[in-house]
Structure 1
Amino acid sequence: MHSSNALYTDLSGYYDLMCADIDYQTQSQSARRLHQFFGGNGRTHLDLACGTGPHIRHFLDAGYQSSGLDLNQPMLDKARQRCPEAHFTLQNMCDFTLEQQVDFITCFLYSIHYSASIKNLKACIHSVFNALKPGGVFCFNAVDKDKIDNNSYVRHSAVVDDSHFVFESGWNYSGTGETQTLNLSIEKTTTDLKQLWQDQHPMVAVSFAELELLLCPYFEVHILEHNYEKIAAWDQDAGNAVFVCIKR
């Protein structure tokens, strides 16, 4: 079955399983540490492309007043169950508005790339700028298009009830243009029945130099090593990094 975002709609029940190897708690703790290090003591928070809300759960538990937005209603329904005290809205991160500005905005799991085009990415950055309080912080992770290894995949498996799942994901970039793809596959085996879903998500392709240029008119930009255990400058070589952006 090939589709665009239908996979997430049809398989929203599998989404948390697909992300079962992600350490949401460590990622959330790291983002809060970066916020405090770069941005002070504010406690209002927005998570872009929040999915089913696992990061938001950790922010709430840490005393933040947290909210989330996503384009996928089934995901938001699950997020509301997980985080009933948070505020969720069905909005596009490339064109969103808030009633009140917040101290901290996050976008985890490389979801900034769902902007899909440079034009939309610019609009996302502008929306974030408008949604932040003066001195507010925007924190996200990204992939440099020029450092993508098209043969590199992440793979993990899980067993639920009587079914065995294998999840695989990898980036692909042709070397030209502003689009790269995130290739996903889910293999489900129940006794002797095997089902395979494959999906390609169009994502915006951008180098870190280009991304920094897009951010700089609005933010003081810090590019850090993609390491949730410590705060260290990006080594100029790794293909992924954490961006911490302080509103000018």
Structure 2
Amino acid sequence: KFFQSEGLDICETLLDIAREKNPEINFYLGDMLDFDLAKNFDIITCLFSSIGYMKTSDLMKSAIKNMVKHLNPNGFLVIEPWLTPEVWKENTAHAFFIDEPELKIARINTSFTRNKISVFDLHYLIGTPEKTEHFVEHHELGLFTEEEMTAILEEFNLNVTFDEEGISSRGVYITQLSA
């Protein structure tokens, strides 16, 4: 094996799922703002737009600083960002549906913007032959331009490349810590 992986998440439930699927990997409960693993890494990834939960420049800087603290010299930090203000569509409705014989799911949300923060509630309606359930996930994610993100990353001695396509068409920042 040419590499060793470790994982970090703020949610114990998701860590339990990850541990069950990947028992050979060490997983840690922590927040990107203040985790301290007392070790450094060649590559750190922050994917699936989780960086977007850093809603302000100060929070974003704190998270980046903390991740950089865990990089080896010349190490890489790879970040999949949340949507930019230019791409975010406020005051719109979105829906996703699953229609299987024994399972029906509808996820519907509307979106708005408050102080450079994207705000949306995902309403889930799940139906099975036994019951129908409804629950809501509330999300608030910071809206940063590519220029703002690049400036923040460069503040921490990172050489920044932005791949516009990225992993899921939101782009990806591929950065390397200057030696």
Q: What is residue 180 of structure 1 aligned with on the other side?
A: 118
For the 8 Å contact 2:88–2:118, the answer to whether it is kept is no
Residues 137 and 168 of structure 1: is their aligned pair in 2 closer, same or farther, counting only changes over 3 Å?
A: farther
Does 2:77 correspond to 1:77? no
Pairs within 5 Å for 1:1-248 = 63-142=2-81, 143-150=83-90, 151=92, 153=94, 155-157=96-98, 159=100, 162-168=102-108, 172-174=112-114, 177-191=115-129, 193-218=131-156, 219-228=158-167, 240-248=170-178
For the 8 Å contact 1:145–1:173, the answer to whether it is kept is no
Runs of 4+ in 1 over 3 A off after TM superposition: 167-172, 191-194
Residues 199 and 98 of structure 1: is their aligned pair in 2 closer, same or farther, counting only changes over 3 Å?
A: same
Q: What amino acid is aligned across from residue 43 of structure 2 in structure 1?
A: F
Aligned residues: 175
Q: What is residue 19 of structure 1 aligned with on the other side?
A: none
- Distance in 2, Cα, partners of 1:168 & 1:63: 42
TM-score (norm 1): 0.63
Q: What amino acid is aligned across from residue 121 of structure 1 in structure 2?
A: M
Residues 157 and 107 of structure 1: is their aligned pair in 2 closer, same or farther, counting only changes over 3 Å?
A: farther
For the 8 Å contact 1:155–1:169, the answer to whether it is kept is no
- Distance in 2, Cα, partners of 1:196 & 1:205: 28
Residues 102 and 214 of structure 1: is their aligned pair in 2 closer, same or farther, counting only changes over 3 Å?
A: same
Q: What amino acid is aligned across from residue 148 of structure 1 in structure 2?
A: W
What percentage of aligned pairs have identical amino acids?
21
TM-score (norm 2): 0.84
Gaps of 5+ in 1: 1-61, 230-237
Superposed CA RMSD: 2.5
Cα deviation code 1:187-219 (max 9, x no counterpart): 101238433222221222222211111111221
For the 8 Å contact 1:180–1:204, the answer to whether it is kept is yes
What is the CA distance between 1:108 and its match in structure 2? Answer: 1.5
- Distance in 2, Cα, partners of 1:158 & 1:137: 42
